[in-house]
Amino acid sequence: MSRIADRPTAIPEGVEIKVENNTVTVKGKNGELKLDFLPSVKVEIAENELRVLENENVRKRAADEKKITALRGTYTSLIRNMIIGVTEGFKKELEIVGIGYRASMQGNKLVMNLGYSHPIEYVAPEGINIEVPAPNKIVVKGSDKYLVGEVTAKLRRYRKPNAYSGKGVRYAGEVIVKKEGKKV
């Protein structure tokens, strides 16, 4: 039995949740997020609490019960993240380490100089806000947790941290274990 889905999810003030067909829509001060779910589960809202339950109307085999239990927990977690996203939002930070490595904003484009012969330009997708408080710091903000993580990982991929020198783009607070070079 899913322990995550057993506890009801509290709906805070200022958040509006609609369930239509197999889609959950969450609206808040930071925007609107949608999630499609499988017909084997159903979402119920009662007294400012949301629950993800097993749908009894769908015919299933005994072997599917474990899968449905896992889906209940997954969808509960996703909906909770959507509620946090539309109320508070999510944020990830990147650090740029290396001589001459820097980032800047030019309009709505992020321009990074990472030691290549050309600067790297990145336009953020809709719903993502990128800030550069310092030349060696990038802050990615948004209401969709998945999209914030995806954009941050994509920016990091442009120049992963080097295991020998430590140069590159890394998550804030990420520890890079440096390898020892060849000894002569």
Distance CA 164, CA 181 (A): 7
pLDDT digits (tens, 9 = 90+) for 44-70: 898 889 988 887 776 666 667 788 888
d(CA 163, CA 42): 47
* CA distance linking residue 96 with residue 156, whole number of Å: 9
Name the architecture of domain 90-171: Alpha-Beta Complex (3.90)
pLDDT digits (tens, 9 = 90+) for 140-172: 999 999 999 999 999 999 999 999 998 999 999
Exposed, middle or buried: residue 96 (CB in 10 Å: 0-12, 13-18, 19+)?
buried
Report the Cα 13 to chain-centroid distance in Å: 23
CATH number of 3-87: 3.90.930.12
Can you give the residue ranges of every domain in the chain?
Answer: 3-87, 90-171
Q: Model confidence at 106, in pLDDT bands (50, 70, 90)?
A: very high
